[in-house]
């Protein structure tokens, strides 16, 4: 039978050769024999097993066969008749919900130029007036749905999102009260998270966030000059001077009173500053625990969109920060570059995703009016509504969304080594770019593959120099503020 190498990536670190299997997500170190066999299987003809062994030198036959079998076991080599696994049928019963993202308001007190909620890339139909704030009643109905649909999950997350989330603090307070009560009744633990632009963080709000152990993500784009380029008030005035003291107060309170680490989220646009400098500013000077970067989502024509040269610069910036991260990890210190931290966590667990993210699986978004959508970014897109909190999730629409988003449907991804962790990328981004949430994000592949390759190399280097560090990925990642949602606010 003919056997061939399955999609994988081999890479070097510290003088050793490793392989990452796109079929299983396994990372292994290869010895010389297995390298030879894998290379042979990677030729177009593959090997005709077991006949190929007849031509192997007698003394090598046994070890080559053994290496071959091990490679098959890891998913690095497969027979040509291996039943091709296409989209697994989705389980008949509904998926348990774990995370609910409540868009408590669609209003914002800033008007950032790149915002997908309000800018040129927004999905909502602007001709229809929408409730600007979620009512307490809608929030309670949403939470009831979360509890009822959470199955056996014991840990639930409620994330508040906007607009500027804190413009509707009343509903947030009511929701926290209600979820904590229902949590006690049902024996489930509920944790809270929110994303904010920090303009409204006053003392009382901060005390509330600390008391209920909120995971807070703050949208801030770096030092004043970078931040104020896009993150402006309606008057056009930058927001940095207003937010900085408030952020400092929040960080101090969280740290002093045992709150959760606070993450900064930086949106990268054309003309962005040097990443390492931005990191240094936010982590060392301002005091954020972790800093995550995300390129702006937009159609490519927008003036703030990242052109190709900037993507290269971005990769160089990520590489420089990754070096710092690895150096820290080798000394057993935590570095706050959260993009890499999250990637290493996925590589360590060996995730192999059928869907790029939890949207419509364990997570759904709810609009101010109570409509359910696959995630927070799709709320207010009429084309993506999947039910209403009063009547429940429309399972048929949900299943359709998931079927179309399954990586098996994304033909170019089949031959891509980055597939286990990318799986085609963000549905929302795909929708903005290609008008189809089920499309793979082909404009980003080069970048994703380079980034995955960088992650693998960092992973192997840490494993070689300080394997104990990787234990911190055994449980849920501690550093990242989960779920790390970016803010349109």
Partner 1 sequence: MNHLRPINRKAAALAQARLDQPGAARVLMLVDTPYGCSTVFAPGWEVDSSGGTYGLCQPIERDLYDCYHSCYWPAQVPDSLTNFPSWTKTCGSPVQDWSQVDLVFP
User: Which residues bind to partner 1, rule: CB under 8 A?
Assistant: 6-7, 18-19, 21-31, 33-34, 63, 66-67, 70-71, 73-75, 78, 82, 84-87, 300, 347-352, 403-404, 406-409, 411-412, 414-415, 419, 433-436, 438-439, 442, 459-460, 463, 474
202 binds, among ligand SF4, partner 1, none (CB under 5 to 8 A by kind): none
User: In Å, what is the CA distance from 475 to each residue of 233, 284, 345, 458?
Assistant: 40, 27, 9, 20
CB of 13 to ligand SF4, least distance (A): 21
DSSP state of 87: P
Q: Quick one: 241 exposed, middle or buried, by C-beta within 10 A (0-12, 13-18, 19+)?
A: exposed
424 binds, among ligand SF4, partner 1, none (CB under 5 to 8 A by kind): ligand SF4
11 vs 114, beta carbon nearer partner 1: 11
Alpha helices by DSSP H, 11-160 = 32-41, 58-73, 136-148
Q: Can you state the angle between helices 203-211 and 240-256, rounded to 10 degrees?
A: 40
- Do residues 87 and 409 lie in contact, with contact meaning Cβ atoms separated by under 8 Å? yes
CB of 319 to partner 1, least distance (A): 21
Q: Contacting ligand SF4 (CB under 6 A), which of 406, 428, 433, 461?
A: 428
CB of 119 to partner 1, least distance (A): 17
CB of 36 to ligand SF4, least distance (A): 28
Q: Quick one: 474 exposed, middle or buried, by C-beta within 10 A (0-12, 13-18, 19+)?
A: exposed
13 vs 218, beta carbon nearer partner 1: 13
CB of 113 to partner 1, least distance (A): 22
CB of 419 to ligand SF4, least distance (A): 4
Residue 122 neighbours by CB distance under 10 Å = 16
- Do residues 1 and 81 lie in contact, with contact meaning Cβ atoms separated by under 8 Å? yes
Q: CA-to-CA distance for 330 and 476, rounded, in angstroms?
A: 20
- The verdict on 238 binding ligand SF4 (CB under 6 A) reads no
Q: CA-to-CA distance for 177 and 273, rounded, in angstroms?
A: 41
Q: Please choose, from the candidates 271, 273, 287, the residue with its C-alpha nearest in 3D space to the C-alpha of residue 320.
A: 273
CB of 296 to partner 1, least distance (A): 18
Which residues on adjacent β-strands are paired with residue 486? none
- Do residues 488 and 219 lie in contact, with contact meaning Cβ atoms separated by under 8 Å? no
CB of 404 to ligand SF4, least distance (A): 13
- The verdict on 419 binding ligand SF4 (CB under 6 A) reads yes
- The verdict on 265 binding ligand SF4 (CB under 6 A) reads no
Q: What is the DSSP string of 31-67?
A: -HHHHHHHHHHTSTT-EETTGGGGGS-HHHHHHHHHH
Q: How many residues bind ligand SF4 (CB under 6 A)?
A: 23
260 binds, among partner 1, ligand SF4, none (CB under 5 to 8 A by kind): none
Q: CA-to-CA distance for 213 and 71, rounded, in angstroms?
A: 46
249 vs 450, beta carbon nearer ligand SF4: 450
- The verdict on 416 binding ligand SF4 (CB under 6 A) reads yes
- Do residues 110 and 167 lie in contact, with contact meaning Cβ atoms separated by under 8 Å? no
DSSP strand pairing (263-268 vs 215-219): parallel
Q: Contacting ligand SF4 (CB under 6 A), which of 426, 458, 460, 479?
A: 426
- Do residues 231 and 221 lie in contact, with contact meaning Cβ atoms separated by under 8 Å? yes
Q: CA-to-CA distance for 186 and 151, rounded, in angstroms?
A: 11
Q: CA-to-CA distance for 383 and 462, rounded, in angstroms?
A: 45
- Letters for 212-231 (x = contact with ligand SF4 by CB under 6 A, - = none) are --------------------
284 vs 436, beta carbon nearer partner 1: 436
- Letters for 333-372 (x = contact with ligand SF4 by CB under 6 A, - = none) are ------------------------x-x-------------
Q: CA-to-CA distance for 39 and 4, rounded, in angstroms?
A: 10
Q: Contacting ligand SF4 (CB under 6 A), which of 441, 458, 459, 484?
A: 441
133 vs 419, beta carbon nearer ligand SF4: 419
- Letters for 383-412 (x = contact with ligand SF4 by CB under 6 A, - = none) are ---------------------------x-x
Q: Contacting ligand SF4 (CB under 6 A), which of 425, 455, 477, 488?
A: 425
Q: Using CB under 6 A as the criterion, which residues of the chain lie in contact with ligand SF4 when the complex forms?
A: 357, 359, 375, 377, 410, 412-413, 416, 418-419, 422-428, 440-442, 445, 448-449
């Amino acid at each position: 039978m003919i056997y061939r190498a399955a999609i994988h990536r081999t890479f070097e670190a510290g003088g050793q050769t490793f392989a990452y299997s796109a079929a299983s997500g396994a990372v292994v170190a290869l010895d010389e024999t297995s390298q030879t066999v894998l290379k042979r299987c990677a030729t177009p003809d593959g090997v005709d097993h077991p006949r190929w062994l007849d031509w192997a030198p007698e003394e090598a036959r046994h070890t080559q066969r053994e290496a071959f079998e091990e490679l098959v076991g890891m998913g690095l080599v497969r027979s040509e008749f291996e039943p091709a696994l296409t989209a697994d049928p989705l389980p008949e019963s509904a998926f348990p919900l774990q995370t609910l993202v409540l868009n408590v308001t669609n209003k914002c007190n800033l008007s950032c130029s790149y915002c997908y909620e309000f800018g040129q890339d927004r999905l909502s139909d602007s001709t229809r007036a929408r409730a600007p704030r979620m009512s307490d009643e809608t929030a309670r109905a949403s939470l009831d749905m979360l509890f009822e649909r959470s199955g056996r999950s014991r840990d639930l997350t409620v994330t508040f999102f906007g607009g500027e989330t804190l413009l509707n603090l009343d509903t947030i307070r009511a929701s926290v009260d209600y979820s904590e009560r229902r949590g006690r009744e049902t024996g489930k633990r509920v944790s809270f998270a929110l994303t904010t632009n920090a303009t409204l963080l006053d003392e009382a709000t901060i005390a509330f966030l600390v008391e209920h152990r909120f995971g807070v993500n703050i949208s801030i784009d770096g030092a004043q000059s970078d931040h104020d380029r896009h993150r402006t008030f309606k008057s056009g005035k930058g927001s940095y001077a207003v937010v900085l003291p408030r952020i400092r107060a929040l960080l101090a309170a969280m740290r002093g009173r045992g709150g959760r680490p606070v993450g900064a989220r930086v949106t990268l646009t054309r003309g962005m500053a040097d990443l390492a400098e931005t990191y240094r500013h936010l982590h060392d000077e301002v005091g954020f625990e972790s800093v995550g970067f995300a390129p702006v989502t937009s159609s490519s024509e927008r003036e703030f969109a990242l052109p190709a040269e900037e993507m290269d610069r971005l990769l160089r910036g990520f590489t420089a920060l990754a070096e710092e991260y690895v150096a820290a990890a080798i000394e057993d210190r935590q570095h706050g570059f959260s993009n890499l931290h999250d990637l290493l966590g996925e590589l360590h667990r060996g995730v192999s995703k059928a869907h790029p993210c939890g949207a419509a699986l364990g997570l759904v978004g709810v609009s101010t009016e109570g409509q359910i959508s696959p995630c927070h970014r799709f709320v207010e897109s009429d084309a993506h509504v999947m039910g209403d909190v009063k009547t429940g999730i429309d399972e048929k629409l949900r299943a359709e969304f998931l079927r179309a988003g399954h990586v098996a449907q994304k033909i170019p991804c089949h031959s891509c080594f980055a597939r286990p962790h990318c799986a085609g990328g963000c549905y929302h981004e795909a929708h903005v770019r290609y008008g189809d949430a089920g499309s793979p994000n082909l404009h980003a592949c080069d970048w994703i593959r380079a980034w995955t390759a960088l992650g693998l190399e960092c992973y192997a280097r840490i494993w070689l120099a300080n394997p104990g560090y990787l234990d911190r990925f055994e449980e849920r990642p501690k550093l990242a503020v989960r779920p790390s949602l970016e803010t349109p606010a």
